[in-house]
Amino acid sequence: LAKTTQPISMDSYEGQEVNITCSHNNIATNDYITWYQQFPSQGPRFIIQGYKTKVTNEVASLFIPADRKSSTLSLPRVSLSDTAVYYCLVGDSSNAGKSTFGDGTTLTVKP
Amino acid sequence: NAGVMQNPRHLVRRRGQEARLRCSPMKGHSHVYWYRQLPEEGLKFMVYLQKENIIDESGMPKERFSAEFPKEGPSILRIQQVVRGDSAAYFCASSPGTSGRMHSEQFFGPGTRLTVL
């Protein structure tokens, strides 16, 4: 399974755009990139998933360069409620059960 | 449409007792995953089950831990003879199954926080 590497923590201020990058140098051809968000004392929640180029939904955007060895989760105009841990996962349906969440990136949004 | 349900939300056990954690997946979901999360750490995969089948238990400790997902009823994660190191949050997730090649979105429950005294 492709290993992912993310920054341990990031700080931001309300209203700013936040970009969290995940490295996955050994990503396989069939692997998708998925991001989850976890608030304290809650289970993770799916944010976005992509395979290549750019994906956007009502919550975030996901940028994936051509070589797919990294990906960037972009959160526009963050608010205090976006303070959470963000996990990057790499895998496909064949290894879904082994999706490893790693330690994630703790994002702290300050007023 | 109820989400993934886990009970109990909090469980206290003394060393040597058994802990049984229950997970009811979302309606229509046939895939269940169990994860363990220690304080200040990420989630660690334990086991992946479909109805009446264990698909992948590579993350399960070899002893004292077992899981099942019967044809009827919730999925159960059982920990026998608990030790203090078992204290953690245990999360269950469910998915409807594979979406072609894509990683199928997992819907998580609120977790069970196990404390071993």
Task: Of A11-20, A86-95, B27-36, B88-97, give the range with the top mean pLDDT.
Answer: A11-20
Q: What is the tens place of the pLDDT at every residue in B41-63?
A: 888 889 999 988 998 898 899 99
List residues bridging with B49 in a β-sheet.
Answer: B32, B54
Q: What is the tens place of the pLDDT at every residue in A53-79?
A: 999 999 999 999 999 999 999 999 999
Nearest-by-Cβ selection for B45 from A93, A97, A103? A97
- Average pLDDT of chain B is 91
Taking an 8 Å cut-off on Cβ atoms, the answer to whether A101 and B105 are in contact is no
Contacts of A51-57 with C-beta under 8 Å, sequence gap 24+, read A51/B102
B-chain CB neighbours of A105 within 8 Å are none
Query: What is the percent of chain B where pLDDT is above 70?
Result: 93
Mean pLDDT of B65-75: 94
How far is the alpha carbon of B2 from chain A, nearest alpha carbon, in Å? Answer: 15
| Residue owning tokens 């998915």 | B95
Q: Three-state SS across chain A?
A: CCCCECCCEEEEECCCCEEEEEECCCCCCCCEEEEEEECCCCCCEEEEEECCEEEECCCCEEEECCCCCEEEEEECCCCHHHCEEEEEEEECHHHHHHCCCCCCEEEEEEC
Mean pLDDT of A68-96: 88
Taking an 8 Å cut-off on Cβ atoms, the answer to whether A49 and B45 are in contact is no
Q: Which of the two residues, B95 and B16, has the higher pLDDT score? A: B16
Confidence of residue A19 (pLDDT cuts 50, 70, 90): very high
